A and B are shown apart, each in its own frame.
Chain A
Amino acid sequence: MIVANSLTKRYPGGFEALSGVSFQIGAGEMVLITGHSGAGKTTLVKLIASIERPTSGSLVVNGQNLSALRRSAIPYVRRHFGMIFQDQKLLFDRSALDNVMLPLQIVGLPHREAVRRAQAALDKVGLLAREKANPIALSGGEQQRLAIARAVVNRPTVLLADEPTANLDSASAQDIRTLFADFHRVGVTIVVATHDQSWIQHCQGNALRLDHGRVV
C-alpha cells in the first residue's frame, strides 16, 4: 500500500530532513512514526500526503508513484487520505458540521447527502450533539475529535495524523487513541507521527523509528 524507497527530502538551505528512508506499510496496518523532535516525522507524513515532494527516491501509495505526480493530479491523490494535524486546522468561521462537510463539498456531494454523512462522522466521534457549535467553543480534545471526523468523513483508505494527541490531557488522548484503534479494526490503514509514549508502548510491533532523518 505505501512503499518508500531511498526517500530523501532536502529543504532550501541544505537541511536534510529525511535521508534515504525505505519502508513498506501494508493495507490495513497501523504504523506509528516515532522519534525525537526534528527526526523527520512530520516531513514523512507530509510527503505521504503529497503536501511536500521528495528531493529524491520514490514513494508509492496505492500503486501510484507520488514522486512523479503532475501538480494537477495532487488534489485527487490527497482525497484518498484523511489528514489530522497537530493544530487541527479547523475553520472558526463556521459550525462543527460545516467543518466536517468541507471534504464532501470538495468532491461535490449533494448537500443533503453531505449533511447526512457529516452527521454520521460526528456521531462516530461523539460530537453529534455539538454539530452547531463553533469549534472555538469546543475543548482541545473535542477539537481533535472534530478534526478526526473531518478526516474520516470521506471514507479515506489511509488515515494520516501528525501528533494527534499532543497538547491533550491523558483522558482526551486516550479517547483519540481509542478512535484510531476503532478505525484500524475496520481496515483503514493508519500512519501516525507521534511521541506519545503510552501509544508507542502499546503498538511496539508497528513503529517506524526515525533518528535525524534515518530509519533506525
Chain B
Amino acid sequence: MRRWLSQHRAALALSVRRLLAAPFNTLLSLLAIGIALTLPAFGYVVLDNLRELGRSASGVQEISVFMEVGAARKDIAEIESRLQTLSGIRFTFVPRDEALKRLQKSEEMAEIVASLPRNPLPDAFIVEPADASPEALDVLRQELASWPKVAHAQLDSAWVKRFDAFLRLGKLTVLMLAGLFGAGLVAVTFNTIRLQVLAQAAEIEVARMIGATDSFIRRPFHYFGALQGVLGGLVASGLVFAALHLLAGPVGELAALYGGSFVLHAPGVREIAALCAAGGILGWLGAQLSVSLSLRRFD
C-alpha cells in the first residue's frame, strides 16, 4: 500500500512538473479546455435560471377549481376538507361575491358587471401544487374535476407545456453541446498527451527495459490529463461567473421594465465541483486513449 501510494504521489508530482515546465502551452491548453466546457456550462446555468423564472412566474402553477353555481355551503366544506387531505399543495378559497368584486374593479368589465341581473360567478378554489410538471398538474386537474359539485377545474396547461417543451429543448441542446465540446476536450488532451509521449520517448523506452509496467508509464499521463481537465473546469467556472456578472445588469433592467425583479443565480460549489469532475474525467479519457495508441510504438 505504501509503495502504491508512493508511486501515485510521484506520478502526480511529475505531472504537475510537466504542467509547469511549459507554462505558455499549459495556459493555451487550459483556455481551449475552459472554453470548450464554458458553453455547455453556461447553457446549463441559463436553463437553470429559466426554470427558476418559470417556477416563480405567477399563475403558471395554479389550478382554478370552479364549483357549480348551485353548490351549497356543505359542498364547499366537503371540497375544502378533501383539499386539506392532499399533500404538496396550497389552496385559497375565493367566494363568488369576492370574485364579482374583483371583476368590478376591472375598468373594462365594470360596466358589463353592473348590467348583470345577478352574480353569475361560482365559488372557486385556487390550488397551487408543489410539483409543477405538466404531467403532475394534469393528473391533479383531472382528479379535482371529478370531485362532486365541481363544475370545472382549469389549468393554463398550454403555457406550462410550451414552457416545459422549451426547457426540454434547451436541455437537449445543452446535452448535445456538452457531448460536442466534451469530445473537443478529449481531442485537445489526446493531442497534448501524444506530443508528451513523443517528447518522453527515451524515458519510456528505458523505463520499459528496466521493468516498468504499462500502468507505471501511463500513470503520469493520466494524472496530467485529469489535472488539465480539472483546471480547465475551473477556468470554465471563472468564465461563466464573468459572463453572469456582465449579464446581471441588463437582465435586472429588463425584469424592471416588466415590473418585476430577477437576479441571475450563479453556479454553486456543487455545480463547480461537477464541472471540474467532468473536465477531469474527460481529460483522463483523452489521456487513456492517447497513451494506449502512442505506447504501441514501443512494443
Which residues does A use to contact B, with CB under 8 Å?
A: 49, 51, 72, 75-79, 83, 89, 91-93, 102-103, 105-111, 150, 154
Contacts and interface: CB of A to CB of B under 8 A. Distances in A.
B208 A75 contact: yes
B211 A103 contact: yes
Contacts of B6: 108-111
B209 A106 contact: no
Given A89-B205, A91-B203, A102 B3 contact: no
Interface string B1-45: 011101100100000000000000000000000000000000000
A75 B298 CA distance: 14
Interface string B54-87: 0000000000000000000000000000000000
Contacts of B10: 105, 111
Interface residues of B, number: 19
Given A77-B211, A107-B211, A111-B10, 6 more contacts: A76-B213, A83-B209, A89-B202, A92-B202, A103-B210, A106-B212
* Max chain A Cβ within 10 angstroms of own Cβ: one of B2, B203, B213: B213
Contact of B206 (A49, A72, A75, A91): A91
B207 interface: yes
Contacts of B202: 89, 91-92
Given A75-B213, A79-B211, A103-B211, A89 B3 contact: no
B3 A108 contact: yes
B3 A107 contact: yes
B89 to A, nearest CB: 62
Contacts of B2: 110
A125 to B, nearest CB: 17
Interface in B108-144: none
Contacts of A91: 202-203, 206
